[in-house]
Amino acid sequence: MSRRKWWVIAALCTIVLLSGAAVILGNFRPVITTYAGADGVKMKFKTEGTSFLVYGEDESWREVFAKGVNLGATVPGHFPGALPATEEDYLRWFKQIDEMGANIIRVYTVHNPVFYSALVKYNRNKGEDPLYFMQGIWSPEEQLIERRDAYDEEIVQMFKAEISKAVAAVYGDITVEPKHGQSSGEYKTNAGKYLMAWHLGTEWDPSMVDNTNRVHKDAPRYDGTFFSGTKDASPFENWLASLLDYTAQQEQKYGWQHPMTFTNWVTTDVLEHPGEPLFEEDLVSVDARHIEPVNWDAGYFAAYHVYPYYPDFFRTDKTLRTIPDGNGGYNTYKAYLRKLKAEYDDMPIMVTEYGVPSSIGVSHHGPGGRDQGGHDEAEQGNINASLTQEIFDEGYSGAILFMWQDEWFKKTWNTMPFEIPADRRAFWLNVLTNEKMFGVLAMEPGKAGQISIDGDLADWDNLPEGEVKQWEGTAPGVKGMKLAHDEAYLYIGMELEEAFDPEESKLFIGVDTIPGGDIPKKELAGRTLAGGELETLIQLGQDEESQVSIAPSYDFHSRLYGPDGYWMLPEKPKAGSKDDPLVPGGTFHAWKLAISLMMNPPDTRFAHPFIDETVGMLKRGSTDPESPDFNSLTAWQSKGRFVEMRIPWMLLGFGDPSSLQVVDYSPLKNKREFTTVTTEGIRLAPWIAKRSELDGSAESAAKTMEIDLEGIRPYTWELWETPVYSERLKQSYYDMQEIFTRLP
């Protein structure tokens, strides 16, 4: 045999062997069992009665409880339209979500192609135990709110275009040209077999829904191929039926059917809330029962976003006070779930958003302490787990937590006026904005893994050269002070001459950022302050004393809600009353955020008082997750002569630390808008005062002591455009892992 023939035969044998191996491996590769109807259409999930069902490898349908998380597409430094997540990010997150016990991820909109290819890659060897996803389709939210007419031709076309894009993207059958703020690329991976359901739209603006119903009151009932409006459907509900039908038509092209739903929330639910003060929160209903599937065997279900603190009727509606919470109050969340579920006695219903954030800031109060913010990670986990259990116990078909990761770009109504400029929100972490910190995956600022607030300054020595600056000043009792910063905090490490004892003394650090301010005479205890005034004052003492307070002339809260702004605060509150902003024993104001605005008839159903809360309190503990003293909201700790702290930027007056923007003293524009100036840096002036000096029971030895602000060099830094961050699974992750793995 010639050498040439030998190589040809060898090559043919190799091809045959490789082909056989491919067939064998293909036969043994885990596959998803799907139901095929008489017409060949595939299904993996469907609804039946009040149940959500999955088709198993035993070729039977069984009930399934959807337990999962909402997943965003951003990381710090980016806004949603940037979609910066990589395959590495997605694969890491999928594994962590899977290990948490979740069986589904919900996404709000079409992600870049890498999401779908990464999910298929992750599920490749998962067989009948994959991680499914629920595909949201974003509605033209801004246009709907602006035009208040869902039937607007451009809005309809925009929504349909997004639906077509979403369906084709899921099935890997579209190339989308780049467009600012939207996903794009070549979608080649078919992820349809891992889809659990379609989830159309966003939370509906009640004024828009009401106006649409009035303007189109004579619109005919929608009678579609796969979805129709019932005889009771409103014009807006018929509009929704037409879009669900359009989604079904698009999916039918690929030989699949999946259950359908649309986004809804408490504001447009089907219940009446006589205890809700705001008319708009109970203005109109969007009723899933007024839409019905026609020739859509995969079925249809209702979905709601239900949080325990919003709208206000969770606190004010007496009709929800039917289930005692065991602590002398009522579990209005569970009562609401029960009432809502009772309305849906012939179709499944899921809660596709719920949860509380782990943030310092608070923006709404909820019964039983289930507030929107003000929780450490342990409290967040306990509350989220209890909400999950209640959703399951009340017979819902799914609970999808909000959310997976912290999102720095988010905003909240009560800190928005101070975050200036708004287009730089994503570059820094404002821990007073609760919306940024709903995740069970912490997106931590740059020094979180480098400096532990525990009273031990040894880890400061390991920071890269140039990232720590020595305070250039002198103060009695202070041997030295180190300063550093990151995207969320100013870090201060102090070495004192003697051990710090909060029972005997208080430690003060005056903060000067711009010209103006006030002098805290009581806290100075006989000392004088020269060369300027202070904007804020850091005070460390016993637990109830440790806080950042703000100069009366600088106080954001008083300026915005007092006579110069909304006029919801008394002009001259009685000293020592609940309205008195002065910190007890001091001259500066407590740092507060509004929680609820003053409302009165006829604008509201009944009067509702102005509510605020002090958010400048500084918790003592440790930021080391391995420490028994760990608390995610820790601000300071001391050990012997060493004191260590991290102070949130906004408490120091910053509107944007990444560009050194500080809220200034200018009168509010239109009585509503603050302005900023660029600071030259932060001047810090420390002093230690004995309690006997502060209460006047002893002659102060500090009467001749002068603190010269001009003689202190300001701490400053370079502007940043790219934030540094790291990921960490929060304590709340493990609480959700426990309940998700326990629930069937």
- Compute the Cα dihedral for 613, 587, 536, 639 and give only its sign: negative
| Percent of the chain with pLDDT strictly greater than 90 | 88
Q: How far out from the chain centre does Cα 124 lie? A: 31
Give the integer Cα–Cα distance in Å for 517 and 539: 17
Q: Are 330 and 321 in contact (CB under 8 A)?
A: yes
Closest C-alpha to 70, from 291, 384, 300? 384
pLDDT in the model for residue 575: 83
Higher local confidence (pLDDT), 23 or 671: 671
Q: Does 176 have pLDDT greater than 90?
A: yes
Give the integer Cα–Cα distance in Å for 87 and 93: 10
Q: How high is the mean pLDDT of the chain?
A: 94
C-alpha separations of 376 from 359, 403, 734 in Å: 7, 16, 14
pLDDT digits (tens, 9 = 90+) for 689-708: 999 888 876 665 566 689 99
pLDDT digits (tens, 9 = 90+) for 438-448: 999 999 999 99
pLDDT in the model for residue 503: 95
Give the integer Cα–Cα distance in Å for 217 and 252: 31
C-alpha separations of 208 from 51, 236, 313, 492, 654 in Å: 32, 9, 22, 50, 36
pLDDT digits (tens, 9 = 90+) for 45-59: 999 999 999 999 999
Residue with tokens 């349809």: 192
pLDDT digits (tens, 9 = 90+) for 190-233: 999 999 999 999 999 999 999 999 999 999 999 999 999 999 99
Residue with tokens 């998380």: 69
Mean pLDDT of the 256-280 span: 97
- What CATH code would you report for 44-443+730-742? 3.20.20.80
Q: Are 221 and 233 in contact (CB under 8 A)?
A: yes
Instruction: Say whether the peptide bond before residue 403 is cis (omega within 30 degrees of 0).
Output: yes
pLDDT in the model for residue 695: 81
Mean pLDDT of the 612-641 span: 97
Any idea which of 71-85, 377-391, 498-512, 583-597 has the lowest mean pLDDT?
71-85
pLDDT digits (tens, 9 = 90+) for 16-73: 444 444 433 333 445 789 999 888 999 999 999 999 999 999 999 999 999 999 999 8
DSSP 8-class letter at 204: P
Give the integer Cα–Cα distance in Å for 460 and 468: 8
pLDDT in the model for residue 703: 65
Helices (H), 539-615: 556-561
**Nearest 10 degrees: Cα torsion 597, 538, 642, 646:** 50
Give the integer Cα–Cα distance in Å for 335 and 322: 7
Q: Degrees (nearest 5) of the Cα angle 358, 360, 363?
A: 90
Q: Give the DSSP H/E element, type plus range, for residue 22.
A: helix 3-28
- Compute the Cα dihedral for 53, 57, 60, 63 and give only its sign: negative
Q: Are 83 and 73 in contact (CB under 8 A)?
A: yes
> In this structure, which amino acid lies at residue 562?
G
Closest C-alpha to 486, from 251, 724, 129? 724
pLDDT in the model for residue 29: 45
Q: Are 626 and 408 in contact (CB under 8 A)?
A: no
Cβ atoms within 10 Å of 36's Cβ, excluding its own: 11
pLDDT digits (tens, 9 = 90+) for 125-141: 998 999 999 999 999 99
pLDDT in the model for residue 670: 87
Give the integer Cα–Cα distance in Å for 555 and 535: 8
Mean pLDDT of the 104-112 span: 97
pLDDT in the model for residue 700: 59
Give the integer Cα–Cα distance in Å for 202 and 210: 16
pLDDT in the model for residue 699: 62
Residue with tokens 């995740």: 439
DSSP string, 600-640: -TTTBSS-B--EEEE--B-EESB--TTSTTB-TTEEEEEET
Closest C-alpha to 683, from 529, 572, 547? 529
pLDDT in the model for residue 455: 97
Give the integer Cα–Cα distance in Å for 546 and 560: 25
Mean pLDDT of the 479-504 span: 97
For 12, phi then psi, to 5°, come to -65, -40
Any idea which of 6-10, 63-67, 401-405, 507-511 has the lowest mean pLDDT?
6-10
Residue with tokens 């001009």: 710
Question: What are the sequence ranges of the domains in the chain?
Answer: 44-443+730-742, 446-708
pLDDT in the model for residue 576: 80
Instruction: Say whether the peptide bond before residue 311 is cis (omega within 30 degrees of 0).
Output: yes
Q: What is the CA radius of gyration of the chain?
A: 29
C-alpha separations of 116 from 80, 89, 120, 196, 309 in Å: 17, 13, 6, 14, 34
Q: Does 2 have pLDDT greater than 70?
A: no
545 by Cβ neighbours in 10 Å (0-12 / 13-18 / 19+) ranks as middle
SS3 186: strand
Query: 517 pLDDT band (50/70/90 cuts)?
Result: very high
**Nearest 10 degrees: Cα torsion 248, 251, 256, 258:** -50
DSSP 8-class letter at 112: P
Q: State pTM to two decimals.
A: 0.94
pLDDT in the model for residue 30: 52
Closest C-alpha to 257, from 265, 248, 268, 266? 248
Mean pLDDT of the 598-606 span: 90
pLDDT digits (tens, 9 = 90+) for 285-308: 999 999 999 999 999 999 999 999
CA terminus-to-terminus distance, the chain: 66
Give the integer Cα–Cα distance in Å for 557 and 614: 10
Give the integer Cα–Cα distance in Å for 413 and 275: 23
